Structure 1
Amino acid sequence: MAISHSARLSPLQGETVWTLDGDAITETRGRRARRFELARLKSLQSAEGGAILTFARGRLTIPAMSYTRGLRPENRAASFAAFVGAVAAAAAVTTPGARFRNAGTPLAEPLTWMIGLLGGGALLLLLFAATAGAWTLGVALAARLVFVMILAAGALPWLNRSGQNMDAN
């Protein structure tokens, strides 16, 4: 049984249907059809809003949202999640070298490191400025580092820290 997901990419275009047929994904829009072999899949990046599949010769973007007749967005997350899960499971069998990951996860760890390094740098700057006798200059420069650290810490809750690599099975 072939699993499929459909979405209307634009209010002016017809509906696009992605179908998983064994070892290939077929994208059909009107009379035009493109076929992507899972054996040539290099990576699959998934997020709540869509997925990006990178192949040896091209890239396939599959959104989770669609347009309805009234030009309103429609969330088709249920069929999207089922389709991407099936693609990941089929690709894990067909292409063992492909990378699978959630697109929202890679920024949280480097941002946490950046916050820690900025805090350590601000403390060292205060220490070196105090030993050189330029306490006010050290406080002024450290305040700028702490401001950037606060901005980075403010962005941290919006990052998807709970996402793990997609389980292909």
Structure 2
Amino acid sequence: MKRPAPTGTERFLKDEDFIVSKTDLKGRIIYGNKIFIKMSGYSESELLGSPHSILRHPDMPKIVFKLLWDRIQNKEEIFAYVKNLCKDGGYYWVFANVTATTAPDGSIRDYHSVRRKPSDKAMQIIPQLYSRLLTAERSGGMEASGRLLNDILNEKGVSYDEFVLGLQQ
């Protein structure tokens, strides 16, 4: 499926909205609730079986997804702010919680994400931070954006989790 060009048109979740989706082990969508389908602008049949990355906005630094995949493949949850790209080129921000679902034998069965509206506080900080990370990424690769993120967290004296969760309060 061809990725749309971003238009700059923003959509907003309501306070009570929760987006839920599941992917298989390769990141292909196997479930999406109604608000997920509506916000994306795709039909359910277009989403099911497609890689979740179909929603990846070009303003998202790769280091965020590396952190996400590293964590969930180790059966650890992660919280992250994500800017998603809609079918029509619009976008919306979410505060995501992503976890691995395990089978009775302990193996990972699929990945589950619940997303909600990000806080105003986070939206005053995250877009600018991601812009800085992208600039570093463009000049020095994902390693450079990872170093910058670690430097910022060290300056603040917080872990990634403390930083992200602190912005949502």
For the superposition of Structure 1 and Structure 2, which TM-score range results when normalised by the shorter chain?
Answer: under 0.3
Structure number with bigger Rg: 1
Q: Which has the higher contact order (CA 8 A, sep 6+)?
A: 2
Q: TM-score, normalised by structure 1?
A: 0.24
Q: Greater share of strand residues, 1 or 2?
A: 1
